[in-house]
Structure 1
Amino acid sequence: MKNTILFVLVMFCAIAVGNAQTVPTTQAIEQKIEKVKNGEGPQMVFEEMVVDYGVIEQHSEPLRKLKFVNKGTEPLVITNARGSCGCTVPSYAKEPIMPGEESIIEIRYATNRLGKFSKKVTITTNEGTEPHVINVKGEVFEQEKEESVPASKGTLSGGL
C-alpha cells in the first residue's frame, strides 16, 4: 500500500515538473536587452507611429496600412497585435520578416461611429523589448443623405 502511494506521488510530481511552463530568467531577459542595445537581433522600425485617418465620411473605407522594416540582424516575428477596443482591428503577416525586409500591418477602424476618435494598437514581437504602441486617430462625420424627389399626386397627360 505504501509503495503504491509513493509510486503515485512520484508520478504526479514527475508529470507536474514535465508540464511546468518555463519562465525566462533575469539573465535571459538581460541578454535580450543587451542584444537590442548592440543592434543585434530583430528590430522593428516604423515609418510612422501615428495612423491618421483625417476627416472621413461615415461608412467609408476603414482600412489603412502601416509600413515597417526589420532593421535588425535576425528574423522578426510579430507575436500579437491588438486594438484598444473592438472598433480598431489590426491584421499582420504571420511569417517571419527577414532582416532588411519591409512589411505592413493593416488597421481597420469601424467608421460607423460618429465623431473624433483616438485609439491605440499594441504590437508585440520577438525583439525582447516593450511592445510598440501605435496611435490611431481621426474624425468620422455623418454621411450626407440623398434626398429623393417626392412622387407627385397628379400624372402628366399626353395631350391637351
Structure 2
Amino acid sequence: MKTLKLSLFAVAGALFLSFSANAQQLAPKKDIKPSGTAVTAAPKATTPNPDAKPTGLTFKEDTFSFGDIEKGKPVSHEFTFKNTSKQTILITNVKASCGCTATNYTKTPIKPGESGNVTATYNAANPGSFNKSITVTANDTELNKVLTIKGKVIAPETAPVPATEN
C-alpha cells in the first residue's frame, strides 16, 4: 500500500512539473528592468523592407473629399491609375478600413501603359465627419498604396410637422 501511494505521488509530481514547464513555454517573454520588475515584451512590429520599391501603379490622386453629403445616400468615387512600370501588374487585394466602405477594382492584369481603377463607395448612414482609408495591394511590391476618402455626412432637414387640432 505504501508503494502504491509513493507511485501515485511520483506520477502526480511528474504531471505537475510537465504542466508547469509547458505553461512557461506558452507565457510571453518578459524583460527584467534594472529595478528587478518583470515587464512583458511587446510583440515586434513588422517593418517594411527598406529596399522595397513603391508600386508601379501611378494614381491620379490618392485622396478625395466628398464635401458635405446627405445622410442615407451612399456616394462613390473612382480612383484611376496607370501602370507606369515595365511589367504587368495585378491588384491582389483592396481593403477598406471599415465595413461602411465598399470597394471594387480592376481584377484583370494591367499591362504597362494600361489604366485601371479602384472604386470606393461610402455608406453615409451616420451624421458627422468621416475619413476612411482603402489599402491597395499589388503583386509588384511589398508596399501597399493607401487611398483616402473623406467628407461630412449631414442629416437632411425635415419640414416641421403642422400641429393638429382636436
When normalised by structure 2's length, the TM-score is: 0.62
Aligned counterparts of 2:157 and 2:112: Cα–Cα separation in 1: 47
- Is 1:94 aligned to 2:117, yes or no? no
Aligned counterparts of 1:70 and 1:146: Cα–Cα separation in 2: 50
Equivalent positions of 1:1-160 (< 5 A) are 33=52, 36=53, 43-146=56-159
Runs of 4+ in 1 over 3 A off after TM superposition: 146-153
CA contact (8 A) 2:83 2:110 kept: yes
Aligned counterparts of 1:148 and 1:97: Cα–Cα separation in 2: 55
Shift of 1:51: 2.0
Aligned counterparts of 1:104 and 1:148: Cα–Cα separation in 2: 45
Amino acid at match of 2:85: G
SS state of the match for residue 103, structure 2?
strand
Q: Residue by residue, what CA displacement relative to the aligned partner does 1:138-157 show, whole Å, maximum 9, x if unpaired?
A: 1000012255777898xxxx
How many residues were matched structurally? 118
Query: What value does the CA root-mean-square deviation take over the aligned residues?
Result: 2.6
When normalised by structure 1's length, the TM-score is: 0.64
Stretches of structure 2 that go unaligned for 5 or more consecutive residues are 1-48
Aligned counterparts of 1:149 and 1:97: Cα–Cα separation in 2: 59
Aligned counterparts of 1:146 and 1:65: Cα–Cα separation in 2: 34
Aligned counterparts of 2:111 and 2:164: Cα–Cα separation in 1: 63
